[in-house]
Structures are given as structure tokens and as C-alpha cells.
């Protein structure tokens, strides 16, 4: 631990100096006006005697992997970025290296993490923040404790916070500026993976009225209201499509002049404009797997039916064109199964409905046509096929009969399982969501009762089987006084190892 000097003779709080490269054109001065017990300063350092009391003298850290003291360059040794000269009280001099295990858990978050808080604003990092707000260095000080978790070193606190549900990130970010920057950095997500936290979590995003998007946390039975999309009125009232990929919710629609995509980040907890597709479209089929998503088919702004497909990478926020499908289609549905992307149903023209499906292999980059994969043809007034994949098994809803069916991949046939908990035939499949939520199928639809209208989330785990032709649907959640029509719905799922569709 060292002190950061803002003005000559004045010292503020502690800052941790891990082993990592500093960004270019960055320079700051670190100094100490207090003495530290050697056993504390020794944490994560090499070649320092474990007796006596050490005092850290001032030095400057520059951007080219070196340290300058009194005009003298000291080049880093091995994997240690900073080599500090330390003067002991007995008059002897030794050298102290910041590296090894010191800051191993925090080196990315402390120096390598810089974030844009908004357009036109400067970068922020935990180094910048710590110089003002401080960290828990294990020593008592006058004033409030600014550690992440009082009484714990920040490395330990980060391990604890990594186990917090992502649905609680918005609340954590409101605690103070350090927590806000921690959540915005995305570091906890990476730490969850590093620690091997594999507990599955899901958020169900839906919009049922003009007031905007809501998110439901099934694990905690909690509703979360998202901020309004800062879009124009045309986008706000136009038909929209949605897709959850990685830690982002993408909402597709049309503004006054052209198509537009807005994305909500679970990490940053705000809406920003997403990069446009290479070939903007609507009424397409889509699916996500981990941090990637694929959209296929649809119509352009002139009404032309498309055969093109694009892949979106949420880690870079970019779209890449894929090879064209064999058949152009719109009002279709897409999904991932067995690591491959599929698109089924839809129409190639206002009068021609498609029963074939297509399979895209991400490894070979080839499309394969599957005849008769979806025999339940849909007309121009009907919703796209309601499909969901659980445990790499495909399920669908037949609009006219309100029945749930299962696809046999070997025989290319469908078998009937049981009825939906709500009606899909009353609106030709519109206003209803049929999604996968982990190991369960999720049906989101409106119901009217003595106490008014409500949207009900029903779930069923296919592993439990079907008894006497009846599916045992369980109520997962209820949202009251929002109408009975579900305009859009998307399910975001993740674990510590990877994000799931």
C-alpha cells in the first residue's frame, strides 16, 4: 500500500499498485507520509526483509513499463512492472517489487480498467477512484471506512461480491461511486468465471404496455423496472423485436427515417444505440448462444424478403454477414440447438408459406435445407412460430389447437404433449411468449380475473414428463395491472462459465 500525493505536503488515501501495464500517456506520483509494519507491506512482495519498519519514499510511475526516481530510470524486472527503492529506519536500503501474488485478483480492475461514463467524458479507473476514496489497507484511519466491505481487504470483498446475483447489480451500483465503477467495469462477471461459479441465473425481460420494459428474476420472485429507451416517438410506438445476447438486451424497431437498434446493458444499466446491421431488417428469425446471436431472413425497409443472415458479437458490438440461406423468408423463427443455428417457418412471399427449415453450421459456414421441418404453415396474419429449446430438444406451440409439441430430430416429426396454460388461438399467436428459461419451458401470457388483468409467467420442466396428456404448469410470477398482451419478451441466462440462451 502507498499513498497518493495530490499536492506538495498533502497526502490522501491509499492506492494499491498491482502488476500490470499502465496505459499510455499516464503518469502519477505516489508517496508515503506514514510508516507501515513490514509484515503488512510485505504482502505480495519479494526480497524484502521481514523485520523492522519500512518507509516508502516518493516515486513516479510512467507509461513505458518503467519507474523514474530523481530522474533515474529503473527498468522492470521479470514480470514486475514497478521496482521501488525502500529506505528502512535503520538507514539501510533495500528494493521492493510489486508483483507476483500482490494484486493478482485486482490488477485488471485497478489499472487496466478504464471506462467511459458518458460521451465526451474522461476515462475513469479504480486507480483514479482510490486516490480520492481510498481502499481498506488494514490500518485504522480517521473518517469513514471506504472499503468495499468494511473490515475486509478488497481482494476478499471482491470474492464475496462475485457471488452476488446479477439482478442485484443495479442496487450495488447505487451504494457509492466505487461500487458504480465496479459494476460498470464488468470485472465481477470475469471473476465469477475465474472462481468457477456455475449457478444458473435468468432474467425474463418483457414489455406489456407503453410504460416500458420490465425484468423478472424467477429465483427471487422480483420485478425490476428498466429505464425508458431514449428513442423518438416513431420507435416507441412501432412494432419491435427483441433478443437477449450475452449481458445485453437488443430491441429492434423503426425510427422516423430508418431501422434502429437500442441495447440495454445489464452491466451499465442503461440504453445506448447499437451498431446497425449490414442489411437492416425486420420480421426476422433470431437466436443467441453465449455472447453471439444470429438473425436470418426478414424484410428490408422496401418490403423485399431477405435470404441474408448476420452474426452479432456482444463482446465487440459488431455485426458480420454470413452466407445466404437457400430460401428467402420473413415472419420466421430462429434458435440454437446442438451448437447449430436453425431457422424455420415464415413466408417467402405474401401468399407462399414455408414448411422447410434451414440449419447453419458455424464451423463449416454452410446452410443445410431440411424439408418438412415445420409443417404447421403460418399465414400473413399469424405470428411467427412459437418455438423454444430446452436441453437441446425443440418444442413448439400450434396456434390453432393451443397444444405444445416436441420435435424428433431423428425422424423429422412432431409429437403432441399437452395444452398451454393460456390461449394462443384468440390472437393468432400474437401477444404470447413461449421461451426457454434454463431447464424449463416458459409461457408468458395475459389472463383476466375478478381482480383485473394480469400477465402470468407459467413454467414446466420437460424432465418431469407428461401425465395422462396433461402438462403440470407452475406459476412462476405474476405482473398485475399491465394488460393482457405481451408485445415483446426475451430471456437472458448465464452462469459463471458461459452465457446461455
pLDDT tens for 377-405 read: 777 778 999 999 999 999 999 988 999 99
Band of pLDDT at residue 148, cut at 50, 70 and 90: confident
Query: Is the pLDDT score of 356 beyond 80?
Result: yes
pTM for the complete prediction?
Answer: 0.69
Strand partners, 241: 252
- Predicted pLDDT at 22: 32
Q: How many CB atoms lie within 10 A of CB 499?
A: 20
pLDDT confidence bin for 313, thresholds 50/70/90: very high
Q: Which of 30-34, 264-268, 403-407 has the highest mean pLDDT?
A: 403-407
> 123-124 and 115-116 as β-strands: parallel, antiparallel, unpaired?
antiparallel
Q: Between 405 and 127, whose confidence is greater?
A: 405
Task: Output 490 or 177, whichever has higher pLDDT.
Answer: 490
pLDDT of 389: 96
The number of C-alpha atoms within 13 Å of 442 and in the hemisphere containing its C-beta is 25
| 432-444 pLDDT, tens digit each | 999 999 999 999 9
- The mean per-residue pLDDT over the stretch 237-248 comes to 91
Q: What is the pLDDT of residue 189?
A: 75
- For residue 279, with 0-12 CB atoms within 10 Å meaning exposed, 13-18 middle and 19 or more buried, which class applies? middle
The predicted pLDDT at position 494 comes to 58
Cβ 334 vs Cβ 295: under 8 Å: yes
Decide: 294 and 311 in contact? Cβ < 8 Å: yes
Q: Average pLDDT of the chain?
A: 73
Q: What is the mean pLDDT of residues 313-326?
A: 95
Is 79 a residue whose pLDDT tops 50?
Answer: no
* pLDDT score at 5: 32
- Alpha carbons 184 and 172: distance in angstroms, whole number: 11
- φ, ψ of residue 284 to 5 degrees: the values are -100, 170
For residues 160 and 174, what is the distance between their CA atoms, to the nearest angstrom? Answer: 18
- Under the banding of pLDDT at 50, 70 and 90, the label for residue 185 is confident
Candidate from 125-129, 369-373, 407-411, 429-433 with smallest mean pLDDT: 125-129
| Element at 407 (helix H, strand E) | strand 403-408
* pLDDT over 90, % of the chain: 44
- pLDDT attached to residue 388: 96
Tell whether the model's pLDDT for residue 332 goes beyond 70.
yes
d(CA 501, CA 289): 5
Q: How confident is the model at residue 66 (pLDDT cuts 50, 70, 90)?
A: very low
d(CA 195, CA 197): 6
Q: Which residues contact 136 (CB under 8 A, 6 or more apart)?
A: 145, 146, 147, 148, 150, 151, 152, 153, 154, 157
Distance from C-alpha of 369 to C-alpha of 325, rounded to nearest angstrom = 9
H helices of 66-186, where? 107, 126-133, 154-161, 169-173, 177-185
Listed residue (319, 321, 373) closest to 346, CA to CA: 373
pLDDT digits (tens, 9 = 90+) for 435-483: 999 999 999 998 887 778 899 999 999 999 998 889 999 999 999 888 8
Q: What is the pLDDT of residue 501?
A: 37
When comparing pLDDT for 105 and 274, which is higher?
Answer: 274
Q: Pick the residue with more confidence: 432 or 56?
A: 432
Predicted confidence (pLDDT) per residue in 163-172, tens digit: 887 778 778 8
CA–CA dist 192, 288 (Å, integer): 21
Amino acid at each position: 500500500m502507498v499513498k497518493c500525493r495530490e499536492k506538495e505536503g498533502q497526502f490522501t488515501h491509499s492506492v494499491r499498485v498491482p502488476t500490470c501495464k499502465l496505459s499510455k500517456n499516464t503518469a502519477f506520483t505516489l508517496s508515503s507520509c506514514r510508516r507501515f509494519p513490514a509484515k503488512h507491506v510485505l504482502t505480495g512482495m519479494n526480497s524484502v526483509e521481514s523485520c523492522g519498519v519500512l518507509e516508502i519514499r516518493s516515486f513516479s510511475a510512467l507509461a513505458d513499463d518503467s519507474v523514474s526516481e530523481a530522474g533515474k530510470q529503473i527498468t522492470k524486472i521479470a514480470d514486475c512492472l514497478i521496482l521501488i527503492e525502500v529506505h528502512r529506519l535503520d538507514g539501510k536500503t533495500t528494493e521492493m517489487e510489486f508483483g507476483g501474488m500482490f494484486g493478482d485478483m485486482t490488477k485488471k480492475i485497478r489499472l487496466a480498467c478504464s471506462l467511459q461514463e458518458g460521451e465526451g467524458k474522461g476515462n475513469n479507473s479504480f486507480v483514479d477512484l482510490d486516490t480520492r476514496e481510498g481502499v481498506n489497507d488494514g490500518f485504522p484511519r480517521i473518517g469513514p471506512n471506504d472499503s468495499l466491505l468494511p473490515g475486509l481487504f478488497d481482494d476478499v470483498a471482491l470474492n464475496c461480491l462475485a457471488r452476488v446475483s446479477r439482478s442485484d447489480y443495479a442496487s450495488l451500483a447505487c451504494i457509492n461511486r466505487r461500487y458504480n465503477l465496479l459494476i460498470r467495469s464488468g470485472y465481477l462477471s470475469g471473476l465469477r468465471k475465474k472462481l468457477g461459479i456455475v449457478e444458473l441465473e435468468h432474467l425474463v425481460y418483457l414489455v406489456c404496455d407503453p410504460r416500458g420494459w420490465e425484468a423478472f428474476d424467477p429465483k427471487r420472485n422480483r420485478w425490476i423496472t428498466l429505464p425508458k429507451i431514449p428513442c423518438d416517438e416513431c420507435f416507441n410506438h412501432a412494432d419491435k423485436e427483441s433478443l437477449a445476447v450475452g449481458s445485453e438486451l437488443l430491441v429492434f424497431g423503426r425510427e422516423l427515417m430508418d431501422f434502429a437498434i437500442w441495447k440495454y446493458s445489464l452491466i451499465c444499466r442503461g440504453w445506448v444505440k447499437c451498431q446497425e446491421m449490414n442489411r437492416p431488417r425486420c420480421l426476422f428469425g433470431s437466436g443467441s448462444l453465449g455472447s453471439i446471436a444470429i438473425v436470418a431472413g426478414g424484410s428490408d425497409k422496401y418490403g423485399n424478403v431477405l435470404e441474408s443472415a448476420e452474426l452479432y458479437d456482444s463482446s465487440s458490438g459488431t455485426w458480420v454477414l454470413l452466407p445466404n440461406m437457400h430460401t428467402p423468408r420473413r415472419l420466421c423463427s430462429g434458435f440454437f440447438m446442438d451448437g447449430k443455428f436453425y431457422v424455420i417457418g415464415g413466408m417467402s412471399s405474401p401468399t407462399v408459406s414455408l414448411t422447410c427449415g434451414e440449419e447453419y453450421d458455424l464451423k463449416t459456414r454452410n446452410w443445410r435445407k431440411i424439408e418438412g421441418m415445420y409443417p404447421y404453415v403460418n399465414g400473413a396474419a399469424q405470428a411467427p412460430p412459437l418455438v423454444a429449446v430446452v436441453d437441446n430438444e425443440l418444442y413448439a406451440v400450434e396456434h390453432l389447437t393451443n397444444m405444445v409439441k416436441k420435435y424428433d430430430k431423428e425422424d423429422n416429426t412432431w409429437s403432441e404433449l399437452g395444452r398451454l396454460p393460456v390461449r394462443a388461438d384468440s390472437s393468432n399467436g400474437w401477444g404470447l411468449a413461449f421461451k426457454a428459461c434454463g431447464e424449463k419451458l416458459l409461457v408468458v401470457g395475459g389472463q383476466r380475473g375478478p381482480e383485473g388483468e394480469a400477465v402470468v409467467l407459467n413454467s414446466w420442466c420437460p424432465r418431469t414428463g407428461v401425465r395422462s396428456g396433461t402438462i403440470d404448469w407452475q406459476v412462476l410470477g405474476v405482473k398485475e395491472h399491465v394488460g393482457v398482451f405481451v408485445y415483446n419478451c426475451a430471456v437472458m441466462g448465464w452462469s459463471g462459465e458461459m452465457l446461455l440462451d
